[in-house]
Structure formats: structure tokens, C-alpha cells
Structure 1
Amino acid sequence: MLSQARDPAAAPRTPLIWALQAEKAGDNAQVDTLLEALGLPVTVKRLCMGRRWQRGKPRIRANLGHLDRAASDALEPPWPDLIVLSGRRLMNVALWVREQSLGHTRLVLVGRPHGHYAAFDLIVAAPQFRLPARANVINLDLPLIEPPRVAISEAAQLWRNEFAALVRPVTAVLVGGPTQPFRFDAQVAQALIDRTLAATAGAGTLYVSTSRRTPAAVTRALARSLPPDARLFRWAAGSADNPYLALLALADRFVVTGDSASMLVEVARLGRPLAVFELPVGRGPRQRLARLRALFGHLRWRGHGARPQRDITELHRALYRMGLAVPLGEPFPASSGADGAHMQLAAIRTRICSLLGLCAGEPPAAALRTDNPASESHA
């Protein structure tokens, strides 16, 4: 039986807000950033997927069948006034909760709606999703990813002596992994190092840090390609000597592989000199299948103004346009200033306050969270 919606007149002055979170640290961090800017109390609901759905993608509908209910936080009344979420699998949960609340719960999605535009009261989308202009869509200049500034400062103190022994300038090379339709294999790893050495004229120290998505073959190729005085961190789960945060604090310039939105945006928001290594498009069967799916998606949504496929190169172009990065091979940009993120957050906050029926005056304010390590390389 559906639970009865709460009487708005009896609702508490402070709205009840849920943040839905699963295992993807990058998605969670974007929700955190938005809610910190909103500045209202939040209840976090941590949800675990059933075995089949840890990688699989269920059909989008109001349903909890893909959850491991025993391992997840309880979803029960009182139903929230607002849910903020990111990710396809959590969309089903949000739709189910709104159904239980008899339509009372408002939904704010960070990311792409996979065609379900009308299902959400507000959609906040990064540039790589290329969403059409709609009344309930805010297209961001950059994803809602904030670098963990407190943790970076702490790492700087711990690693300062080790970095003091390195020949300057230190060029941090932050390595992600393959993602459709791009190729990232041993040959591409060799090209990454060759082009980085050319861009730096071999000066200073290369400090390469791999991440959880870096294939072992790529890590081995990187090790073979590096000059003798370079440093290489091989990512491992739970490793206590991960230099990622220290690199964000102490490196002089950065080369980041173009697959990783989180690492690109963290470096950019810190205003550090950044070059993007754009991965080549693959030519194998999987890449051809991905291109066919993309074409089918464009044909399916033609006439709706939507381009549903994620395109990470849109993020690259946004970074270049804003002067926050250059393609690898061009001169490193100077350290940059603010990127306008706070102005966009203020606009999002105003829209959410309107959804909640808060007063039209000064909306709640709060400092952005600065201690949430969102990046894939140290999550």
C-alpha cells in the first residue's frame, strides 16, 4: 500500500532532503558539492546494488529490484521533500520514492536523464552530456567536482620533504584507463610518455600516477617508457603511499589522460597548468559497436533536440575555451584563476530553493565541502 503524503502545512520548517549515494565516488562527490552549496541539512542514503546490477543497467522505472536491500540504508517514511542523485541505477530509487510519496518528493538529477527529461524537476548536466536547452535543464561549464582542498593541504605537509628532493619542474602525469569509444593500450601509453617528454623538453622530473582503471599492460608499458629518473606509482587498492593528493599540492604542471573527467576537473579547479592527452578512437569490434549504438541513439532522439551519448571531448573543449587547459603539445597555460563554478552553483541553489518553496530572499549559504576525495585515482 502506498504511504500517505505528508500534509505540507504540518511539514517542518526545514525541508527533509535525501542524498542517494552508491559506490561511484565521482557521482557521490558531485551530489555532495551541490548539497553543500544548498546549505541545508541532508540525510545520506547509502545504497548497494545486487550482484547482477553492480555493473548492469536496469530499465529505468520506479523499482527497487536491483538493490541489495539488506546491505542498503532503509527507504521508509517520512518521505523526503527533495532527493538529489546521480547515476542511472539511482534514478529507479528516486522514482520509486516519489511514487510512495504520492508525488510530493521533488527530484534533482546530476547527470543525464537517458531521455527521461519529464521525470525530474531539475537536471544539472556536465558539458560532456550535451543536453538540449529545456526549462528543467541547467548545462554546466564543468562538472560539479571540487578538489579535496583540506586533504590536499594535509598531503602537502606529509610529502613536502620527498618532493623537495626532486628536480624541478615536476610534471605530474595522471593516468586513467580505457573508455568507449577510445583506445588505451601499451602503444598509447608509449605515445603518452613520448609526447610528454617532448612537451617538457625532458626538463625536470616526470611523476606518473596510475589509477584504479589503468590496465596492468598499460602500467607495464609506462614503466618501460619512462626515463631513469622518473617516478611511477602503480595503483593498488588500499595503498597507503598513493601520491595523488601530494601531486595536486606540489607538482608544477600536469598532464592528464582525457578519459578522466574527475582528474581533469580537479586540476583545473585548482588553477594549475594543465595539458590534456586525448586518447585515440579505437578501431576494434567493441569500438565499432559503440559507434553503431551512438548512431542509433542519435537517430532515436532526432527531433527531440537531444544527443544522448556522453562525449568526453566536449569537456576538453570547455576546458580549452575557458583557458583552463591545452591539448598536450601546446605550451602549458599559466596558472588560472576562478572558473565561474561558484556563480553556477548559486544559480542551481536558487532553482532548488524555488522547488522547495523557500523564501525568495537570500538563499541558504554554506562553504563547499573541501575534504571529500572524489577522484578515481585515490578513491
Structure 2
Amino acid sequence: MAPRTWVILSDKRGDNGQVDTIVDALPWPVEHKYVHMLPAYVLGKPRYRPSLDHLDLSQSDPIEGPWPDLILTVGRRPSMVALWVRKQSGERTKIVLIGKPSGYMLDFSLVVASAENQMPPMHNFLPTTLPLMRVDAQDVAVEAQAWQERFAPLDKPLIAMLIGGETNPFIMNRQVADDLVATAHWIVDDLGGTPYVTTSRRTTPEVIEVLRKDLPPQAVFYQWSVDSEENPYRALLGSADGFIVTADSVSMMVEVIYLHKPLAIFPLPGGWLGSADQQRRSLAHWLFNPRQASAWDRWRHRMARGVYYLDVFKLLCATRDFRAFHRLLVEQGLAVWSGEPFRQPEARLPDDVGAVVKRIEALFP
């Protein structure tokens, strides 16, 4: 008999897409529960605990019995709802959390997180290579068709330069802006192509100003704006011959990879504080990813599990190592470094979704 399954989601489309990717692969039906936050908690973080106090119950789907056997969820706020439901069920409900937990890993029956997340190798943790994101290839194709006349006159190859922004441990300063300009000139002078440069919500004003002033005349520059009605991003996903993505933007890298397009990673500096913080992230990666090929690796695996109980302030157990993720993509043939020749990815993508479904099924022997 199939377990009664709820999917508890909020308004974050990217997060929701990861859960729905799993839902589509499950061999049994599910019931979706969409929850909406009170105004104070749309951006503000509620204290993490089993609770419905942060919800706007008048706008949310009913959260009431009969209680489910299984909940799939993602994110801090929906996972608090899942924990509350489990409490009402007499601790019977099993919870599968997608992504890094805000609380303790062992609060959940299964935690699924992609390779940039550094998590202790506990018994309930399943790492995946890539985030379980969805890319609607049909939607991308429609956008590409709509922009075809605008892209047609541009010299080929058309190279999309997707610029993110500052996020710990990375910084974006004048040197980064100058390096981006140099990369655009390389596309024009060495490849004979067109750099199509797009910024994002997080791109710093200093970088935007330098790009606007110093990009080669052959470049096309799009500055992100909340009021813009014509963002070329999805059209570029379907039309560009190659992509250069700044190191902070995991989601954009993953979308390119899922579309089997050539990807180059543009490294970003960390500044003195970010460089120091990278040591913490690198330590977490070293500690939590033993290959168990030797007695030393097996000892490190046991030590990593012990750190989970000692790391009260989550200095190691709730961090991300972007640089390790970049190296993984390059080692697996899914990306190159910016400035290297573009390469059509030949590596087969891992069946992460299949592995997740098997682990979920194993929760109900």
C-alpha cells in the first residue's frame, strides 16, 4: 500500500522545482500543500521549531488530519510545518528534506543535498552531484524562437556571459570587472564571436559601471532590472553557443549543464575575509567527503559523524564549498575554466533522482 504523502511547499519556485522533480518520479500519488507566510516572515526568519505560527493560515492550504505517512519539503519555513505535522502524528510521519537543513539533520528521516553543500556523512544523508532543478526545455525553445531575429545578426559564436554577484565568500570589485571586460575582448578577438553580457539582482554597481563603459563595441549588454519586461536569459539558454558563468551562480551553471550546453566557470576572488572563510569551507569538505578507501578514510568518516554532535554553532555542518563544487564539475567533464576552449559536455549526468526515489522507497519496507 502506497504511503499517504504530502508535499509542503512555499512560494520559492526554484526550491519547489527540486521537490517536484522527485514527485514526478515517485510511483504513487501525492497531495500538495502550499503554505504562505505572514508578512513578517516573507523575508524575516522565524525561530526554527515545529510550528505553524509563521503561516498566514487564511491563505495557506489546510494543515489538518488525517496525517500523512510521508512529507517531502524544502526550505526553513515549510520544514517547520513538516516538523509540526510529525508532532501531531505522534512522531509517525517521516520527513524527506531537500537541501541543507536549518535545524539538525537527525530531525529528518532523509536529507538530500547537492555537492556544494558540506554535510556530515550521517546515516540519513544522501548527497547528489547536482541540485535537482528543473529546466523546461520547451519554454526555453519558445523563448529562443521569440528572440531569433535579434540574435541572428550577431557574430557567432554567441557566448552568454552570465554575471551573478557578491555572496559569501566571493566579492565583486574593480579587478573582477576588468577581468570580465578582458574575457569579453577574448571572445571578440580570439573567437570572432559576440559576448552577450547579462547582470543579475546581486551584481554590484561598480561592476555594472565598468561593464557599461569598457565592454567592446561588439558586445551586447543587458542590465537586470526589476521593471524589465524583456530579460534575455531564457532565450540565451536556448540560443547561445557557450556560457561563461561567474563562480557564485550555482543555479545558472546547473541550468546550462542540464541543457547539455558548453559551460565555462569564471572564478571570483574572496577578499581577505572570504579567503579566511574558505579555509573553514575547505576543512568541512575534507572532513565530510572521505572516500573510505583506506583505514585513514574510515577513521575520518567516524570523526566526521562525531563532529555533528560537537558542532553546536554549525561552523562546519551547515556550510557550502563552491570551489570544491567547481572542481567537481571540471573533473567530471561538465565544465571548463573561463579562458579555456569550450567543450561540448560528453559525460552522462548522474541519475540522482533515481537514487533519491530508491532511498524514499526504502523508508517503507
**Which 5+ residue runs of structure 2 have no aligned equivalent?**
288-303, 309-315
Query: Would the alpha carbon gap of residues 213 and 81 (structure 1) be closer, same or farther in structure 2, given more than 3 Å must change?
Result: farther
Aligned to 1:227: 216
Secondary structure in 2 aligned to 1:70? Answer: coil
Q: 1:146 aligns with which of 104, 128, 134?
A: 134
Q: How far did 1:118 drift?
A: 1.5
Secondary structure in 2 aligned to 1:138? Answer: strand
Q: 1:57 aligns with which of 42, 45, 55?
A: 45
Query: Would the alpha carbon gap of residues 88 and 191 (structure 1) be closer, same or farther in structure 2, given more than 3 Å must change?
Result: same
What are the within-5 Å matches in structure 2 for residues 59-208 of structure 1? 59-114=47-102, 116-198=104-186, 201=190, 203-208=192-197
Q: 1:237 aligns with which of 226, 232, 239?
A: 226
Counterpart of 1:156, as a letter, is A
Instruction: Please tell me whether the aligned partners of residues 269 and 338 of structure 1 are also in contact (alpha carbons under 8 angstroms).
Output: no
Q: 2:256 aligns with which of 260, 264, 267?
A: 267
Q: How far did 1:186 drift?
A: 4.5
Structure 1 consecutive aligned stretches of length 4 or more whose deviation exceeds 6 Å: 288-299
Query: Would the alpha carbon gap of residues 68 and 216 (structure 1) be closer, same or farther in structure 2, given more than 3 Å must change?
Result: farther
Instruction: Please tell me whether the aligned partners of residues 155 and 249 of structure 1 are also in contact (alpha carbons under 8 angstroms).
Output: yes
Counterpart of 2:125, as a letter, is V
RMSD of equivalent CA atoms: 2.9
Aligned to 2:330: 320
160-169 vs 73-82, which moves further: 73-82
Q: How far did 1:344 drift?
A: 2.2
Counterpart of 2:340, as a letter, is E
Secondary structure in 2 aligned to 1:69? Answer: coil
Q: Deviations over 1:87-141 (max 9, x none)?
A: 2232211111111122222110111224612211111111111223232111111
Q: Deviations over 1:172-194 (max 9, x none)?
A: 01121211121124542332232
Q: 1:330 aligns with which of 335, 340, 348?
A: 340
Alpha-carbon distance between aligned partners in 2 of 1:39 and 1:313, rounded to the nearest angstrom: 36
Tell me which of the two structures has the higher relative contact order, counting C-alpha pairs closer than 8 angstroms and 6 or more residues apart: 1
Count of aligned residue pairs for this structure pair:
341
TM-score, with length taken from structure 2: 0.83
**Which 5+ residue runs of structure 1 have no aligned equivalent?**
1-12, 358-379
Q: What percentage of residue pairs aligned between the two structures are identical?
A: 42
Query: Would the alpha carbon gap of residues 239 and 81 (structure 1) be closer, same or farther in structure 2, given more than 3 Å must change?
Result: farther
Query: Would the alpha carbon gap of residues 29 and 185 (structure 1) be closer, same or farther in structure 2, given more than 3 Å must change?
Result: farther
